[in-house]
């Protein structure tokens, strides 16, 4: 898609729907109510005007720490239309994380949900750059602001918004994205792969502050004029089931751990109570048995894909009519992929290599992190840090992170492969595999296993089972049973905590 040089993402995604005749259509439904596209446009203009009235100017930054509600897209898009850069951050972090992000970004304004304010209150008055603190709901604020907002003279290549990395290892990185990227992810993945259209109703368990959730609940539905369901609470199976049965979404976005928990729940809804046409998974490799079980229960396939904060959304995915269990599919049209070894040379077919991506939605850089920017964004290519193999049919299979891979007896072992074997056992709900040194200081696989409620299995049972599924050297030498696994807010297993 050719994005014009003079371009503003908010003007395109919101006000394009008014030009298309969707003013009266429902854009968002949240826990408190709903709004039409015309009402969304009015609120976006008013919020942008309020920010300008505070003295904020083009390229100033506002940090957004809010639970999902209609106020979230209003704030995010109002800032963008005014030329102010929103920084969306995880709502599950610590005061130390938030203080770092505000200091690192030099944000002049903070928008924070009242329940999250205690995480900011201890230090908010001490930051020299932070001048304004806003707390939703902001009906009074919008009522006082004007309904007509001058469009900031932004270009497709201007900084549009930031997303901070999850911070699962090291300090979080401010990832800077440009105005054109949201529209391009919508064209390439949402329309090109999912066939997303204005008749869809969308519900994403992944929140708006994630790159995954931002596409699912903002750029994708707005790009096609669809309706989006937002949920402020944590995405437990019961909370998800409530939205799936009451709001009847046609598209649902989740993560593997959530799909597993949903399938294990006795409250899983009947097929007749759902209106789903497609489900999507990202965040971790989707074990085949989860996808198969979900298809049996609902009649709907889960399309497994992978995206990243750096590439903004999914660039490698299974697709309708072309799905292979146990793989992440093929490149999304518009992206190029290659697998390389540790020296940067292409690997042979079937060999593990690091996945590199070339595409139009790559971030510009990491803010104030030149070394990491140069090592991740290498010319036109972006390093993913993920290991993959590609088969003769072009399907990519996940092999773990570059820093999670294990060498056992001189042979690479993928933790994801061992985890998938363990989770295929009827008694296992979740599993995580890390490297552990034996008495000779040689690294071998160690597994942490969460059993399904009411099910039992011994260490020996699971070891024998894995040996029946994989080459014998891959079986876990040690297995510890746990009540739960440590995860990031996106559902990714934090293996570094298990290694410790």
pLDDT tens per residue, range 297-322: 999 999 999 999 999 999 999 999 99
What whole-number distance in Å separates Cα of residue 218 and Cα of residue 216? 6
Does 344 have pLDDT greater than 50?
yes
Domain spans, the chain: 1-402, 406-499
Q: Could you give the 3-state DSSP secondary structure of residue 396?
A: strand
What is the bridge-based pairing of β-strands 353-358 and 381-390?
antiparallel
Does 486 have pLDDT greater than 90?
yes
pLDDT grade for 323, boundaries at 50, 70 and 90: very high
**Multiple choice CATH, 406-499, 3.30.479.30, 2.170.8.10, 3.30.300.30, 3.40.30.10:** 3.30.300.30
Does 169 have pLDDT greater than 60?
no
- The Cβ-side half-sphere exposure at 225, using a 13 Å CA radius, reads 14
Q: What percent of the chain has pLDDT over 90?
A: 85
Does 168 have pLDDT greater than 80?
no
pLDDT (average), residues 400-410? 77
What DSSP designation does 321 have? T
What DSSP designation does 269 have? P
| pLDDT digit string, tens, across residues 80-134 | 999 999 999 989 888 888 999 999 999 999 999 999 999 999 999 999 999 999 9
What DSSP designation does 486 have? -
What is the bridge-based pairing of β-strands 314-317 and 330-331?
antiparallel
Helix or strand holding residue 466 (H, E): helix 459-469
pLDDT grade for 13, boundaries at 50, 70 and 90: very high
> Would you give the end-to-end CA distance of the chain in angstroms?
46
Q: For the purposes of burial, counting CB atoms within 10 Å of the CB of 242, is it exposed (0-12), middle (13-18) or buried (19 or more)?
A: middle
pTM summary value = 0.88
| pLDDT digit string, tens, across residues 178-191 | 999 999 999 999 99
pLDDT score of 166: 62
> Do 191 and 240 meet the contact criterion of CB atoms below 8 Å apart?
no
What phi-psi label fits residue 478: left (phi over 0), alpha (psi between -120 and 50 degrees) or beta? Answer: beta
> Do 70 and 31 meet the contact criterion of CB atoms below 8 Å apart?
no
Does 170 have pLDDT greater than 70?
no
What DSSP designation does 483 have? S
Q: What is the chain's mean pLDDT, rounded?
A: 94
Phi then psi dihedrals of residue 13, to 5 deg: -70, -35
Does 500 have pLDDT greater than 80?
no
> Do 212 and 313 meet the contact criterion of CB atoms below 8 Å apart?
yes
> Do 75 and 208 meet the contact criterion of CB atoms below 8 Å apart?
no
Return the CATH number of the domain spanning residue range 1-402.
3.40.50.12780
Structure tokens that stand for 85 in this block: 């850069």
> Do 430 and 485 meet the contact criterion of CB atoms below 8 Å apart?
yes
Does 53 have pLDDT greater than 80?
yes
Helical H segments across 164-278, by residue range? 180-185, 211-214, 220-224, 237-246, 256-264
Q: Could you give the 3-state DSSP secondary structure of residue 96?
A: helix
In angstroms, the Cα distances linking 6 to 3, 200, 219 are 8, 30, 19
- The Cβ-side half-sphere exposure at 427, using a 13 Å CA radius, reads 12
pLDDT (average), residues 434-446? 86
């Amino acid at each position: 898609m050719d994005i014009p040089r003079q371009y503003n993402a908010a003007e395109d995604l919101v006000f394009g729907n008014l030009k298309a005749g969707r003013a009266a259509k429902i854009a968002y439904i949240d826990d408190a109510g709903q709004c039409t596209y015309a009402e969304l446009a009015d609120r976006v203009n008013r919020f942008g005007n309020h920010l300008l009235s505070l003295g904020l100017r083009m390229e100033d930054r506002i940090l957004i720490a809010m639970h999902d509600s209609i106020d979230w897209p209003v704030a995010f898009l109002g800032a963008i239309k005014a030329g102010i850069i929103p920084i969306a951050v995880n709502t599950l972090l610590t005061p130390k994380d938030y203080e770092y992000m505000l200091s690192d970004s030099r944000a002049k304004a903070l928008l924070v949900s009242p329940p999250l304010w205690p995480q900011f209150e201890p230090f908010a008055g001490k930051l020299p750059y932070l001048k304004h603190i806003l707390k939703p709901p902001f009906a009074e604020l919008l009522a006082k602001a004007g309904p007509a907002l001058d469009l900031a003279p932004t270009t497709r290549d201007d900084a549009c918004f930031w997303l901070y990395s999850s911070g699962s290892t090291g300090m979080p990185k401010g990832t800077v994205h440009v105005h054109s990227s949201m529209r391009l992810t919508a064209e390439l993945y949402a329309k090109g792969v999912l066939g997303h259209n204005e008749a869809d109703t969308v519900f994403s368990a992944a929140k708006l502050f994630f790159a995954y959730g931002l596409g699912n609940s903002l750029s994708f539905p707005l790009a096609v004029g669809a309706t989006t369901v937002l949920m402020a609470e944590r995405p437990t199976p019961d909370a998800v089931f409530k939205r799936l049965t009451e709001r009847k979404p046609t598209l649902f976005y989740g993560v593997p751990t959530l799909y597993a928990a949903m399938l294990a729940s006795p409250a899983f809804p009947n097929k007749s109570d759902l209106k789903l046409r497609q489900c999507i998974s990202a965040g971790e490799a989707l074990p085949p048995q989860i996808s198969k079980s979900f298809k049996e229960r609902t009649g709907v396939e889960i399309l497994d894909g992978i995206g990243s904060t750096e590439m903004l959304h999914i660039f490698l995915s299974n697709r309708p009519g072309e799905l292979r269990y146990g793989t992440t599919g093929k490149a999304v049209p518009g992206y190029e992929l290659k697998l390389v070894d540790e020296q940067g040379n292409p690997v042979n077919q079937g060999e593990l290599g690091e996945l590199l991506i070339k595409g139009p939605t790559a971030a510009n850089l990491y803010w104030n992190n030149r070394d990491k920017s140069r090592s991740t964004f290498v010319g036109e290519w972006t390093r993913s840090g993920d290991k993959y193999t590609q088969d003769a049919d072009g399907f990519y299979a996940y092999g773990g992170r570059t820093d999670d891979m294990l060498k056992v007896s001189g042979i690479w072992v993928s933790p994801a492969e061992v985890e998938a074997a363990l989770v295929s056992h009827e008694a296992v709900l979740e599993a995580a595999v890390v490297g552990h040194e034996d008495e000779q200081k040689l690294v071998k696989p160690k597994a942490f296993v969460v059993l399904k409620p009411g099910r039992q299995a011994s260490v020996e049972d699971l070891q024998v089972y894995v040996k029946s599924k994989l080459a014998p050297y891959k079986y876990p030498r040690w297995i510890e049973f746990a009540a739960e696994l440590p995860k990031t807010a996106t559902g990714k297993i934090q293996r570094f905590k298990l290694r410790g």
